[in-house]
Structure 1
Amino acid sequence: MASNVSGIVGDGDERYIPGSRRPDGTLRKERKVRPGFTPAEDVVRYSNSRIEASKPSQYPPGYTPKTKPETSSVAKKKANKVEKVDSGAGQPRLQEPKSKDAPVSTSSACPASSAATEKEKKIKALQKKLRQIDELKAKQNSGTSLNAEQLDKITKAKSLEEELSKLKI
């Protein structure tokens, strides 16, 4: 027998509201419910996933509740980065929360890792720019005419390579 918010119990056509006792002690009769009837308190409210995604979160930015497991690829990458950061003993560095409700902060426990990720981001960005420059040079060699911005980008290749070599050291 299934139970609802409204108190209706039963299966299929045999649904009813069970009898109950009023505060003054008198009995309320059991009442039958017509097939197909759904009371207002049992109607599920329509929810659009796009609207739900655009609503502001009730949690602070960056915090994910433990009750909602993340399965996205971004979440997996974040978990892998936390596991890769070692404290020398092979365990990830995590700071103990001060209270039961406080989220664990990995950024304050490992300031060196955030600097390393910034460095990695800059390296990747420079490598991407150099790849684009190589593509522009290939276009230029094939005979395609380039605009002024593309030509300026090609002239900056030398300084980008120098900057990249400094970051890699």
Structure 2
Amino acid sequence: INSSIRSTYFVSKLRRISQIFYIELTPNKNLIMSVNGIYAEDSEGKFIPATQRPDGTWRKPRRVKDGYVPQEEVPLYESKGKQFAARKPQLPVGMSPEVALASRSKKSGPNVHCPIPGLVVLEDKTKKKKKKKDATVEKLANDLTQTKLDNTPPDPAKRLKNLKKKIREIESIEARLLSGELKCPEKDQLDKVARKIEILCEIKEIEKQIYWPIDTKYDFCRRL
């Protein structure tokens, strides 16, 4: 096995030497270095020298025309939009790369305030604590105001006005029922008519609070 390996290695070396020897000894031949390979040039023009494949076989030399560019060296096509985006500056106008790098590195730290492009101002910790404290105080004040509004008793005069409006609606429904105009009343209308006595009692209680003395023992609801 070792002798077979040595023999294969020796044959590949001989082929490589013969290729180099062919390139060097051919008259009027120059080597041209390219980005991705070697070109040879003789009196007839440029050509690609013979190269060995991975399986050990050889590719024949290949003639190329003047101005030939290998596929690997052809620049990739870029649209005008992509070219414009590549040329577009990545930073705001007037900001230096050093300032941009400093601002990015400090994002995880204190808050950065930039009133002017290129000017980085760090917020003072004392101001930050004061803002937080003011926000807490304002929230507590709003909560207390809302609690006071919720605990404020309703205005008896407004309540009395709303109840009298409901009584007028009920009397209108009753009149339509008696005249036969409303033959199939809805459930909501019947519920309103059924609550007439209850609403009248509440009206009298509110009127007693507003107009009558507090120690009055008169109860209108018991008479109904």
TM-score by shorter chain over 0.5 = no
**RCO comparison, higher one (Cα < 8 Å, 6+):** 1
TM-score calculated relative to the size of structure 1:
0.32
TM-score calculated relative to the size of structure 2:
0.26
